[in-house]
Amino acid sequence: MPAPVESSYLRPAFLTALVGAAISLGVAAFFVLLAQGVDGLRVAGFLRATGRTWLVAMGSGIDAGPVSIGLVPVGATLLCVVAVVVAVFWVATEPVHERAAFAAATAGAYGTIAAIVSAATNSGDVQTSVVRAALVAFVVGGVGAVWGVGRRHGDGEDWWFTASQDVRIAVRASVPAILAVLGAAATIVAVLMFAHVSRIGDLWASLDAGTGGGIALGVGDLLAIPTLVLWTASALLGPGFALGTSTSVDLTGAQLGQVPGFPVLGVLPMPGEFPGWVFVLGLVPLLAGMLAGWRVEPASRDGVLARIALGAGAGAVAGLALGVLVGISGGAVGPGRMADAGPPPLTPLLVAVPVLAAGGALGAALAHYRGGRASRPSDTSASGRPRLWKRHQSPSVD
């Protein structure tokens, strides 16, 4: 009996998972060294801290006695995805013909590594969920593999899950809408950082973290900015976000109690009602949906209703993506009242989908009628009444 032929995608998939995990663990180890220093460092404790840091960075959460951290640190998770992308560039040098199988195998191997690390680092009161660690690592590994192969070999078009041209148009049109909402939220965060720079500096000075700790704290602040952007997007959508039990920040105002002394949280607005003009920012999601609808161009020319439906679909896809991103950005950041932080998990999704879908339908209708007017022929002499300037032209010599 001939020996079974090894599948071409398995070896690069497993190597990609191993290299991606090694890169992320190496970065985690570096920051653990910065934060803890080398004096009195124990190898076993250092390895456990490194593994836990990597797992928390991917969003596995961690329980340490009464302290529970369930927040997904979006910036750190993105770094873990980028590590897998880098691994794909190093390992998958040849075109991958079984792309879906490669991504699935990479995700499975990455999730298995995370589960092993979680089980190995659990001790005493400090625990990470093995199941959650495996699930979040599966997502990180899969997204990184898909992104990396698409960028490495330029075959992104081959990853489409459908042959429907209208679905592809709707998904592509949703991207500018997503970026518009996130861009508006990022602009607001940047403005608040500039306005509250002295408060951020005071919080930084009060911590007195030292050189190594200061570097780790600064990187942590930078990695927290994407989470603040998503929280701000939740405020633009309407639900807002909390930073502690019975607190809230939305477009009406801020009701906040004592917040953790993390320097980047100095960007939070002062408690109280906001000026009336702030409500104008609530139009951002609707305008973003209109942008998605404006960009759709149906593959089949079925008239205005087909284009409006496609625009609404593009807006709904954008709202779905935004709702999921915003919903997963919340979670516990400590004990007691800090067990409730970030946006509510479901409300942003329930708001974003209909609002952006309505904007998409409106934008598609406007684009249709504007396109109809723009394509109207300017010279109707052949089929209708001649223009006035045509009447007074001199007869041709022909």
Q: Give 160-226 as a DSSP string.
A: -S---HHHHHHHHHHHHHHHHHHHHHHHHHHHHHHHTHHHHHHHHHHH--HHHHHHHHHHHHHHHHH
Instruction: Write the CA distances from 264 to 166, 183, 198, integer angstroms.
Output: 42, 19, 11
- Give the tens place of pLDDT for each residue, 69-83: 888 889 999 999 999
- Give the tens place of pLDDT for each residue, 190-241: 999 998 888 888 888 887 767 777 787 888 888 889 999 999 999 999 898 9
Confidence tier at 264 by pLDDT (50, 70, 90): confident
Q: Where are the domains of the chain?
A: 10-155, 165-373
Q: What is the pLDDT of residue 397?
A: 43
Q: Give 242-307 as a DSSP string.
A: EESTT-EEETTEEE-------GGGGGSPPSEEPPGGGGGGGGHHHHHHHHHHHH---SS---HHHH
For residues 202 and 188, give the distance between their C-alpha atoms in angstroms, rounded to a whole number. 21
Q: What is the pLDDT of residue 218?
A: 83
Q: What is the pLDDT of residue 6?
A: 47
- Give the tens place of pLDDT for each residue, 98-114: 778 888 999 999 999 99
Q: Which residue has the higher pLDDT, 162 or 128?
A: 128
For residues 190 and 196, give the distance between their C-alpha atoms in angstroms, rounded to a whole number. 10
Instruction: Give the Cα-Cα-Cα angle 183, 176, 103 (nearest 5 degrees).
Output: 100
Determine phi and psi for 243, rounding to 5 degrees: -140, 65
Q: Residue for token digits 């792309």?
A: 99
For residues 67 and 13, give the distance between their C-alpha atoms in angstroms, rounded to a whole number. 36
Q: What is the pLDDT of residue 373?
A: 53
- Give the tens place of pLDDT for each residue, 130-149: 999 999 999 999 999 988 88
Helix (H, G, I), strand (E, B) or coil at 227: helix
In the predicted structure, residue 66 carries a pLDDT above the cut 70: yes
Instruction: Write the CA distances from 285 to 69, 179, 294, 342, 352, integer angstroms.
Output: 30, 11, 14, 19, 8
pTM of the model: 0.84
For residues 217 and 54, give the distance between their C-alpha atoms in angstroms, rounded to a whole number. 16
Q: What's the alpha-carbon Rg for the chain, to the nearest Å? A: 26
Q: Which residue has the higher pLDDT, 177 or 334?
A: 177
- Give the tens place of pLDDT for each residue, 266-324: 888 888 888 888 889 999 999 999 999 998 876 555 678 888 999 999 999 999 999 99
